[in-house]
Amino acid sequence: MTMSVESGIVCFIGAGNMAEALVRALVRAGTPPASLRVTDVLPERLQVFRDDLGVAGFADNAAAVRGAGVVVLAVKPQKMDAVLQGLRGALAPDALVLSIAAGVTCARLEAALGGAARVVRAMPNTPALVAAGAAAICPGAHATPADLDRAEALLRPAGIVARVAEADMDAVTALSGSGPAYVFLLVEQMLAAAAGFGLDAAAARKLVIATVAGAAKLLDETGLDPREARRRVTSEKGTTDAAIRAMEARDVPAALRGAFDAARRRAAELSGAA
């Protein structure tokens, strides 16, 4: 399902990196730019959308959402209350509100918009910038199955989409939402090791990035359990075995689980669920 003129106007409130990633993905997938709108307080950001994508930019949120079938809330959580106050009464009664703001619950969005808004909450991640994102969605109290379908169709051009219960969104935030940063940290340390070994920086970057991408692709395409995949590449007393034993001696697995739980607890604090 392509988000198109037939599906109505899609209006993005906020013109940051994630909004740009989603708009670019939609346009690449065949959505007419004329069916998309974006708002922002920064004229230079709106100019990017106008010049690069042919998408209309607005400074006035209320004006931008008039007639929109889908409104995507792509603003920072700390700015959400003011944005919602400005939108209340301006939305079409049957508009779908899709929020990609971390930690802002469906109930909070519904209450701020009058109590009966059709809300779907999403947690995308930054690889959406290269159409390789992972997003989870959950419905609010008044969202219909068709609303979930529509939200998924909007997000799918930027990557995969999974449906979860809202109670699971803090875990999603800790894993896939923050997850790219964990991978970047691993790559950062692999490249630091390469520099220490005297390996050419350009060659090291190419090898490390391909290794991370290839390992993920192997798991995805074979369906292998990661423990089994690791066993197959780890020969007893070999190089991989030496590395894994060194990590286990430093309790790296426990440290990682602790880090993921810290992220989950922080997500719960931000959403008021802790």
**Rounded to an integer, what distance in angstroms lies between the CA atom of residue 160 and that of residue 122?**
12
Q: Domain boundary residue among 144, 169, 194? A: 169
Residue found by looking up tokens 């740009």 in the block: 20
Regarding whether 77 and 32 lie in a shared domain, the answer is yes
Q: Is residue 22 part of a domain?
A: yes
Reported as a single tens digit per residue, the pLDDT across 65-74 is 999 999 999 9
Q: Domain boundary residue among 169, 187, 221? A: 169
Regarding whether 123 and 16 lie in a shared domain, the answer is yes
Distances (CA, A) of 134 to 26, 250, 263: 15, 31, 17
Average pLDDT over residues 88-111: 94
Regarding whether 161 and 115 lie in a shared domain, the answer is yes
Between strands 133-139 and 9-13, the pairing is: unpaired
Is residue 273 pLDDT above 80, yes or no? no
If we measure between CA atoms, which residue out of 159, 118, 117 comes closest to residue 136? Answer: 159
Q: Which DSSP symbol is given to 161?
A: E
Domain coverage including residue 155:
5-169
Regarding whether 122 and 246 lie in a shared domain, the answer is no
What is the predicted pLDDT for the residue at 100? Answer: 95
The CATH number given to whatever domain includes residue 257 is 1.10.3730.10
Q: What is the pTM of this model?
A: 0.90
Reported as a single tens digit per residue, the pLDDT across 160-218 is 999 999 999 999 999 999 999 999 999 999 999 999 999 999 999 999 999 999 999 99
